[in-house]
Structure 1
Amino acid sequence: MTFGTRFEAGPSRSKGTPSSLEDLFHPNPESSATLSVGKNAFLTLASDAVVVVGKYQPGIARSIPYYNILWAEVSHDYITIKYADQVTKTDVTLSSVHYLVNLEHKSKAETWTEKLLDSAYGKAQRQKRIKILVNPFGGKGRAAKQYYKHVEPIFAAAKCQIDAESTNYRGHAVDIVEKIDVDAYDVIAACSGDGIPYEIFNGLAKKPNAGEALRKIAVAHIPCGSGNAMSWNLNGTGSASLAALRIVKGLRTPLDLVSITQGDKRTLSFLSQSFGIVAETDLGTDHIRWMGQARFTYGFLVRLFGKTVYPCDLAVKVELDNKEQIKDHYRAGSERKSFDQLRDEGLSDTVGLPPLRYGTVNDPLPEDWTLVPHDKLGNLYAGNMAYMTADANFFPTALPNDGCMDLITIDGDISRRTAVQMLMAVDNGTLFDMPEVNVRKVTGYRVIPRDRKEGYISIDGEQVSFEPFQAEVHRGLGTVLSKSGYRYETNGLK
């Protein structure tokens, strides 16, 4: 409910709690939940909102949800409440209300205000110290404008300490974050697409105390690019203003990160890895970028109808390969847990980056891995999050910190009819159950491309060399801010 939500008085109702309609319309000024302000106006702490009576029209109560409240304080005989007003279904804007507080009520007003902030923030940290990295090239050059117009006012109203900086070249965020004082900030927020979060994680990974840094600083995402998967998964929105509110109220959440070894390099992945049709559709359609999001659908269909195959050898460390067991695993992992509970469940606690249990791509395969030829592979897609775009829940059983990647493999010689069904299944969330889709929970895998010298491999949407690579998951190595504190913002399994 926004401040414009109205409750009209009706017949007398049972009394007892401040959340009952009768008590809201006829508040008891002696109650600790009710504050008398201004001229015959009352503010009441209800079950999920502050309710205002008397300021506008008699018999009408208006409310501000606790979740939307950014800050409240008593100063110079006035109480001020700043909040994010839901102006559309997807956007919020900064608003505030001010009321005169009688001198004899000032002490009560200060106590009432603290109770309000307790209800507004719950377990979320107040006054976060946020380092913001703005990609001025993101969102067709509109990221900076979005930040200063829609995001910064919300952070400032919530009394966050803000330090904003623009990135000027590819890899700049890595350089900034590698040198950052991890004790100076609680959050690093990317105002960009998914590319800057990728750089932030890898900047933290370059520190001598990388493990500590990745646990200490939470990474957050303000969606201002062409790919905003991180925000859709953690914030449940592609709106910059609503994501700002989600960050203000965000809960610290451990996040699995994936080590990628290729050649002599080791990098971290937070979102996905792809080889085959998804990688080629994502990275090989820049020449038709003018088509917008439609270029992905077009590129996908062209390759599906062409029955394109991407031969490779694949070795996998499988933890679960039965779809019903994977669903049960997801349901069990979706139960609410606190940050401390999750940290006690054997998550990463190393000072530096954790050692590689399975070695690198250059080492012999672990004894319990078998290299299997895949001559007709159409797509290999490994996900650490559920949504890859706003409407593509490729990995509905993905969890933030279960210590597994969700690995999908699909043959490239499927019928055109099945290919079209798959494209539609991605949109409606039924891809997981299609018999042609092989789904496994894995902790590591190695891909060795074959029979072609050039091609595409995508790590978090970034192109890497077309050569063998190995992936290994580290449970809870990273930290992010999420709305729930324990799961992704998906609709769950179909």
Structure 2
Amino acid sequence: MKFKRGQFSFRRLFPSLSTQNSEAVLLVKTSIKIDYVDVSNSIRWNTKTLELELETEELANELYANLNLCLSTLTQRPRRLLAFVNPLSGKGHARVVYDKKVLPIFQQANIAVQTIYTDRANHAQDHIINEPLDEYDGLICAGGDGMFAELCHGLLLRTARDREINIDDRQVNIIRPNLRIGIIPAGSTDAVVFGTTGLNDPVTSALQIIAGESLPIDITTVHNESGFVRFMATMLAYGFFGDIIHQSDRWRCLGPLRYDLAGFCQFVRNTSYHSELTITLSPHDSARMCHTQAATSLNSVGGTSSVAPDYQRLINSSSLSLIDESLKNKSMDTINKIVTPNVTFCSRNCVLCAEEKADPEKVHSSLQIKREGRYTTVNCLNMPCRCAKSKYGMSPFVHLGKMTLGKQESMFAFGIRLGDGTFDLILVKRSWRTGFLRFLWQVANDSRTIEDLPHVEKYRVSEVLIRPINTGRKRGGNWSCDGELINGNEIQVRVHRQALNLFASGIQFAEHQKAENLKKPANLWFPCFRTKKNIKYEESNSF
């Protein structure tokens, strides 16, 4: 916000006026320029300028002081930030994006920013863990998902150290740090920004930081048999996608092309891995399953319950027995309907995500099930993982967390609930290459009905233990967590609800846009790629 004193003369409008006459009509005007954020497009934010002309300089000074006083009462807005910039991110464009587009906006908003240009791996993480941060209102990273992972790990590990939390304990409950993290997208995929703002626009992200937008997201802890391994914000994969990361690390000289080549090689190999999974369903789905099983047991002969051999009970449900063979198929269909996540979108004021903590009187017993078989890929998704290669991401229905700001009740968060204390588990069973190609095609184009593929299983869970079963000399698959390779004979993934706060508004769509764009899946080109649910969507025109 600026004001200036200037002269205005009617001579500009009437050049024929003489000099003497023009001096008589010479007026002195004072103008104020107000820069503000334009959110008319709820996805892409921009800055605009409003210029006001006032009669006197005293009036301008008064308005200027009052506007600054109003801004000072907005406590959610940051005053001082610590920014980390990876100069090598995005093919070396990250520094240019930050210096030319983002830093001037921060300066215009009178935000003090201390900038550190990283020169090695884990530079930002080490600085956050070891240096004092009391003077800052938030941390900013300019780069890709790897740069965000450094800030995420540094902040969470520092908080765990300060609170004397044993992070190696598998049942640890991590504490949300006081500082928020803002992300300036300047990487190759920017999956976190896509999942929390809707697009990878540096200006939009910078303006949401300035406005003090806040979005709590779930974070998962990853442990192996030795202890803590990593925090996971986006995706953990075993098998196909982990093998791609492992292969691409050998071809770094090829640049971004290495990922496409590695993916093609893994697709041709069509490798699957024998694995056993212990899945802890989300408490909500566990309660629904127990209720359905109890109701079925009353209607079955001898009071037996409806559980198929592939699904194992938790201790809390161990009193229920197995049903006879004639009811297994019906039971399996019922269970599949319950444990498969409902295809629903999360409203901006989602009830599930708005709950600060669980009511002790309403806590449901979690239910565990076991799955064993040969899987081409096992994927745990905490975000949709949208990017240029995937329109909706692999899992667009994981629920958006509670947003502390936002005035439009009719705005909708797309797909995911980033803060409801669950994540999605997607299992792709062994199949022919054509079957796996269908899976990859839907991930790239429209993954909203991905669970309808015959070789895909999808669960909404709070915890999962993945144990590869290696027989003979055959080598096991590779693990990747947020794009980084990890090791372990078994991996446990456990979610922590709203454990990290971001400077982000969440993905928002107006009601008419949501109904217009999301009410049915994209038309499929080939009949062989059509699923039963695609046909239902086309017939009902509903989501």
Task: Give me the TM-score of the superposition, normalised by structure 2.
Answer: 0.63
Give the aligned residue type for 2:454: P
Give the aligned residue type for 1:303: Q
Question: Do residues 170 (structure 1) and 132 (structure 2) align?
Answer: no
Displacement of 1:388: 4.4
Task: Map residues 51-62 of structure 1 onto 2, 5 A cutoff.
Answer: none
Question: Do residues 268 (structure 1) and 231 (structure 2) align?
Answer: yes
Displacement of 1:474: 1.0
Distance in 2 (CA, whole Å) between partners of 1:338 and 1:314 is: 30
Give the aligned residue type for 2:178: K
Give the aligned residue type for 1:402: D
| Structure 2 contact 43–197 (Cα < 8 Å) conserved | no
Displacement of 1:215: 3.6
Task: Map residues 109-148 of structure 1 onto 2, 5 A cutoff.
Answer: 109-110=63-64, 113=67, 125-148=76-99
Task: Give me the TM-score of the superposition, normalised by structure 1.
Answer: 0.69
Q: Specify the alignment match of 2:60 in structure 1.
A: 106
For the residue of structure 1 that corresponds to 2:110, the secondary structure is coil
When structure 1 is superposed on structure 2, of 231-240 and 96-105 the one drifting more is 96-105
Displacement of 1:155: 1.5
For the residue of structure 2 that corresponds to 1:184, the secondary structure is coil
Question: Do residues 379 (structure 1) and 347 (structure 2) align?
Answer: no
Distance in 2 (CA, whole Å) between partners of 1:127 and 1:77 is: 30
| Structure 1 contact 201–214 (Cα < 8 Å) conserved | no
Give the aligned residue type for 1:193: G
| Structure 2 contact 215–505 (Cα < 8 Å) conserved | no
Q: 1:218 to 1:181 in 2, by over 3 A?
A: same
Distance in 2 (CA, whole Å) between partners of 1:492 and 1:283 is: 35
Render the CA deviation track for 1:255-300: whole Å, top value 9, x for unaligned: 1111111243323211111101112123422445566655444433
Displacement of 1:82: 2.6
Question: Do residues 244 (structure 1) and 244 (structure 2) align?
Answer: no
| Structure 1 contact 130–187 (Cα < 8 Å) conserved | yes
For structure 1, the residue ranges without an aligned partner over 5 or more in a row are 1-36, 41-56, 58-75, 348-365
| Structure 2 contact 122–150 (Cα < 8 Å) conserved | yes
Give the aligned residue type for 1:81: I
Render the CA deviation track for 1:77-111: whole Å, top value 9, x for unaligned: 5412235799x999888775655432274377448
2:103 to 140, 146, 152: 152
| Structure 1 contact 224–240 (Cα < 8 Å) conserved | yes
Distance in 2 (CA, whole Å) between partners of 1:388 and 1:290 is: 26
Question: Do residues 428 (structure 1) and 428 (structure 2) align?
Answer: no
Distance in 2 (CA, whole Å) between partners of 1:485 and 1:423 is: 24
Give the aligned residue type for 1:462: E
Q: Specify the alignment match of 2:35 in structure 1.
A: 82
Instruction: Specify the structure having the higher radius of gyration (Cα).
Output: 2
Give the aligned residue type for 2:424: D
Q: 1:112 to 1:172 in 2, by over 3 A?
A: closer
Distance in 1 (CA, whole Å) between partners of 2:387 and 2:136 is: 29
Q: 1:453 to 1:150 in 2, by over 3 A?
A: same
Question: Do residues 201 (structure 1) and 152 (structure 2) align?
Answer: yes
Distance in 2 (CA, whole Å) between partners of 1:447 and 1:182 is: 37
When structure 1 is superposed on structure 2, of 105-114 and 156-165 the one drifting more is 105-114
For the residue of structure 2 that corresponds to 1:473, the secondary structure is strand
Q: Specify the alignment match of 1:314 in structure 2.
A: 277
Distance in 2 (CA, whole Å) between partners of 1:382 and 1:220 is: 24
For structure 2, the residue ranges without an aligned partner over 5 or more in a row are 14-28, 164-172, 286-334, 360-364, 399-416, 522-543
Q: Specify the alignment match of 1:345 in structure 2.
A: 357
Q: Specify the alignment match of 2:426 in structure 1.
A: 408
2:496 to 442, 449, 474: 474
For the residue of structure 1 that corresponds to 2:192, the secondary structure is helix
Displacement of 1:409: 0.4
Question: Do residues 304 (structure 1) and 290 (structure 2) align?
Answer: no
Render the CA deviation track for 1:31-85: whole Å, top value 9, x for unaligned: xxxxxx9899xxxxxxxxxxxxxxxx9xxxxxxxxxxxxxxxxxx9541223579
Displacement of 1:170: 1.8
Q: 1:124 to 1:367 in 2, by over 3 A?
A: closer
Kindly indicate which of the two structures has a greater share of residues assigned to strand. 1
Kindly indicate which of the two structures has a greater share of residues assigned to helix. 2
For the residue of structure 2 that corresponds to 1:214, the secondary structure is coil
Q: 1:251 to 1:92 in 2, by over 3 A?
A: closer
| Structure 1 contact 395–432 (Cα < 8 Å) conserved | no
Distance in 1 (CA, whole Å) between partners of 2:134 and 2:358 is: 24
Give the aligned residue type for 1:460: D
Give the aligned residue type for 1:471: V
Q: 1:171 to 1:108 in 2, by over 3 A?
A: closer
Q: 1:423 to 1:111 in 2, by over 3 A?
A: same
Distance in 1 (CA, whole Å) between partners of 2:262 and 2:507 is: 36
| Structure 1 contact 197–221 (Cα < 8 Å) conserved | yes
For the residue of structure 2 that corresponds to 1:389, the secondary structure is coil
Give the aligned residue type for 2:100: K
Render the CA deviation track for 1:99-125: whole Å, top value 9, x for unaligned: 54322743774488469969xx9x883
Distance in 1 (CA, whole Å) between partners of 2:502 and 2:31 is: 36
Distance in 2 (CA, whole Å) between partners of 1:153 and 1:229 is: 25
Distance in 2 (CA, whole Å) between partners of 1:420 and 1:329 is: 23
Q: 1:254 to 1:95 in 2, by over 3 A?
A: closer
Q: Specify the alignment match of 1:227 in structure 2.
A: 189
Distance in 2 (CA, whole Å) between partners of 1:101 and 1:326 is: 62
Displacement of 1:410: 0.2
Distance in 2 (CA, whole Å) between partners of 1:401 and 1:91 is: 23
Aligned-residue identity in percent: 22
Give the aligned residue type for 2:269: G
For the residue of structure 2 that corresponds to 1:477, the secondary structure is strand
For the residue of structure 2 that corresponds to 1:284, the secondary structure is helix
| Structure 1 contact 173–200 (Cα < 8 Å) conserved | yes
Give the aligned residue type for 2:372: P
